[in-house]
Amino acid sequence: MSPQDSAGRMSWDQTAVLVAIKGYKPWYKIEKGKIAVADDGSNTWLKESTPHSYLAEAMPVKTVEEFINKLMMHQPVDK
């Protein structure tokens, strides 16, 4: 188990749904660039103006986690 997962395995599925429905702001920012792979197989992210990007944290993970959990636990009200 990865040390990063010592408190439980991270899941990106809920993050993907959050961003797809609500957009990436204010939880994340977009980092543009590309991956450069070295001969030894290691890689580096090069910040450049390209069509490639990834989501970078803009808020504490705990804040996003609590918001996603609140959405997942929401109980609809019958009208």
- Note the pLDDT tens digit of each residue in 21-66: 999 999 999 999 999 999 999 999 999 888 899 999 999 999 999 9
Q: Rounded to an integer, what distance in angstroms lies between the CA atom of residue 49 and that of residue 33?
A: 6
Global pTM reads 0.68
Q: What angle do CA 55, 57, 60 make, to 5 degrees?
A: 155
Which has the closest alpha carbon to 33: 48, 20, 23, 44? 48
Per-domain residue ranges for the chain?
A: 22-73
Taking the C-alpha atoms of residue 28 and residue 68, their distance in angstroms, rounded to an integer, is 14
Q: In this predicted structure, which of 55-59, 65-69, 74-78 has the lowest mean pLDDT?
A: 74-78
Amino acid 17: pLDDT: 92
For 4-14, the pLDDT digits (tens) are 777 777 677 89
